[in-house]
Amino acid sequence: MAKWFKAQPEWLKRPAIYVERKEDSAVLRQLLDCTGQTPSGFFYFLTGPPGGGKTTLAQRVIHELREGVLYVEAPSDAGQFGQQLASTLQLVEQLPNPLFLIYDYVLNIAGGPEQERTSKLSSCLSALETAARAFRAARRRPAVLVIDNAERLAAKESVMRDMLFAAQQWADRGLVRVVFVSSDDALITRLLGQSRCSKAASVEMGDLSEEQALQYLEKRGVAAKAAAQVVDVTGGRLLQLMSAVEVLEHGGTPEDVRRLALVAAEAEFQKVGLLDDTPQSAAGLRVVQALLQADNIASDQWNRLVPSPHDKEELLRDNVFARRHRDCKIVFENRSVAVLAREKFGAACN
């Protein structure tokens, strides 16, 4: 017999504080709502900076759509993904108009020793495919599976391989549209270059605009002057804005927010090896100086400044530089990093 759950899952609850992002919402709605769409034959990577609000916005759109969308967060242990997916399948019965799931396939899949986990993931994928067939027959559209923190799956090659294979097969058959959500630029770039991702496409979400960032801080009760000072150093990075509000609510000042943001940015410079004599430091500092003279650099300039593939990988590994997927240009990863770069290295550019 199937188990029934009455409590609403945490991921379906509407965020308490939300800033309207009409363009991003429209893009996500088109990605997650297959109603009336001709099956594209593609699966997708939803990309964007860490802490930029991808998950918050995706959860809001899912909250509005409700029917036909499954959301699962990849666990820190990729080997447990089958168990996590099984739990999600069991919880779907809570939704007002659930996917039609064959529960006998998914009950008692979770748990068990390491050697059984691969077969459990296969069982979950088989159950989801069966459910998706029933859903498509009833609703005449594919279901959607959103996998958040998808970069965690890469830690176990067999899990990532199986999910990419399933995503491709389901896309070809018009059964399930899989959306991998990740901030790992290097991983997504690498996967998009592989033959098994020949029918994958990326959709990029950026930070909040300055106007949206100020709107968010206003909703959180931050005075206009203090909000402007905060945004000057955080930009529209949602996670940093949330941290700034916490600092202010505990008696801190905008100056405290700035100091903490720059300390965090300096730690990122340290991690990527720009403050030490590392193999990539000279190339990295050339990139810093180029970005201080322009908002971004094109891929051909990036290749000239950083000719070594190893150095490229190291420099993009942490949160100093990022590649924008929409135009392949290199930018500072966030406003705080740009502010610190200006303070530390700006004189060399004048």
Q: What is the pLDDT of residue 271?
A: 92
Q: Return the structure tokens found at 90.
A: 């069991």
Q: How confident is the model at residue 212 (pLDDT cuts 50, 70, 90)?
A: very high
C-alpha torsion angle, residues 333, 11, 250, 334 (rounded to 10): 10
The amino acid occupying position 290 is A
- CA nearest neighbour of 152 among 192, 180, 122: 180
CB count in 10 Å sphere of residue 165? 12
The region of weakest confidence among 25-29, 189-193, 222-226, 317-321 is 189-193
- State which fold the 273-350 domain adopts: Arc Repressor Mutant, subunit A (1.10.10)
User: Which comes out higher in pLDDT, residue 57 or 331?
Assistant: 331
Q: Which CATH number fits domain 10-204: 3.40.50.720, 3.30.1180.10, 3.40.50.150, 3.40.50.300?
A: 3.40.50.300
CA atoms within 13 A on the CB side of 79: 7
User: Which comes out higher in pLDDT, residue 314 or 195?
Assistant: 314
Q: How confident is the model at residue 210 (pLDDT cuts 50, 70, 90)?
A: very high
* pLDDT, tens digit (0-9, with 9 covering 90-100), for 248-298: 999 999 999 999 999 999 999 999 999 888 889 999 999 999 999 999 999
Indicate the domain borders of the chain. Answer: 10-204, 273-350
Q: What is the pLDDT of residue 16?
A: 54
Q: What is the pTM of this model?
A: 0.81
Report the first-to-last Cα separation within the chain, whole angstroms: 73
- Size (the chain), residues: 350
The region of weakest confidence among 21-30, 189-198, 312-321 is 189-198
- In degrees, rounded to 5, the angle at the alpha carbon of residue 160 between the alpha carbons of residues 174 and 199 is 40
Helix axes 210-219, 224-234, angle to 10 degrees: 130
- Which residues, 6 or more positions from 252, have their beta carbon under 8 angstroms from its beta carbon? none
Mean pLDDT of 100-122: 46
- Which residues, 6 or more positions from 242, have their beta carbon under 8 angstroms from its beta carbon? none
Q: What is the Cα–Cα distance from 307 to 87, expressed in whole angstroms? A: 46
* pLDDT, tens digit (0-9, with 9 covering 90-100), for 147-160: 999 999 999 989 99
**For the residues of 283-338, what is the DSSP string, one character each?**
HHHHHHHHHHHSS-B-HHHHHHH---HHHHHHHTTSTTEEE-TTT--EEESSHHHH
The amino acid occupying position 155 is A
Residue 95 vs residues 5, 175, 206, 288: alpha-carbon distances, Å = 10, 20, 30, 49
